[in-house]
Amino acid sequence: MRRVLTFWLLAAGLGTLSGCTTATVDRQATAAVATNNVTTAAASVGAGDYRVGALDVLDVSVFKVPELSKTVQVSAEGKIDLPLIGSVDAAGKTIAEVQAEITAKYAATYLQSPQVSVFVHDALSQRITVEGAVAKPGIYSTAGQTTLLQAVAVAGGLSDIADPRGVVVLRNVGSKRQAAKFDLSRIRSGTATDPVLLGGDIVEVDESGMKTTMRNLRETIPVFGLFSPLL
């Protein structure tokens, strides 16, 4: 098994195993999976199971009618605005469903047998923010399932001053903001579940031994791993 893993890491460009601990190998493998999720985001958003989210940017084109073709952003309410037909519900629908609705609206009033194409120009709704005590804080695009450990790996891993027990995930549920706290040490040891993140989540990694606003927030969340409404 070690030979197979060594070969896989070399093929993936992760270097040799000389001097690496098992934990290092695990971190490299996790980072490789998470990075692959990020780099394949653009290819995945056109897939049939992708559902449009608020703030996504869509390219809408109507064959041989360039004046109706435009790039639009989905509003916070989940709608796009198009020439002649006005508002179209987009959030929560697949690309095929959005395309079908636009086609039906143009066909009902303005065009005979319109050929409409819709593509995701930028999947902003699928971005995850990682902040705090990590090597590379930032906003990262994701595709498919991305877990908390993978998101931290993409952000370069925990910094030297990070508290692995001080990780808070902020999430919008409907119109309300909720938060959950996680212990990365327990997740890595297999005694706690590695949660799957959603587009729009914000991961906050606290600093060890510091009295921070995030530490105060973490202490108000009653149970590890469960999202609670913020007051």
The string of DSSP codes covering 12-34 is TT----TT--HHHHHHHHHHHHH
Check the CA dihedral 47-52-57-61 and report its sign: positive
Distances (CA, A) of 21 to 11, 17, 184: 19, 8, 19
Q: Tell me what pLDDT residue 29 has.
A: 39
Residue that has been written with the tokens 């990020």 in this structure = 38
Higher pLDDT, 209 or 203: 203
The pLDDT tens digits of the residues spanning 150-186 come to 999 999 999 999 999 989 999 987 778 899 999 999 9
Q: Tell me what pLDDT residue 212 has.
A: 66
Q: Are strands 127-132 and 162-173 parallel, antiparallel or unpaired?
A: unpaired
Confidence of residue 33 (pLDDT cuts 50, 70, 90): very low
DSSP state, 112? S
* pTM for the predicted model, two decimal places: 0.59
Higher pLDDT, 200 or 101: 101
- For residues 103-138, one letter each, b for 16 or more C-beta atoms within 10 angstroms of the residue's C-beta and e for the rest, the string is bebbeeeebeebebebebbbbbbbbbbbbbbbeebe
Rounded to the nearest integer, the mean pLDDT of the chain is: 80
Tell me the chain's radius of gyration from C-alpha atoms: 22
Domains identified in the chain and CATH numbers: 2-42+125-223 (3.10.560.10), 57-122 (3.30.1950.10)
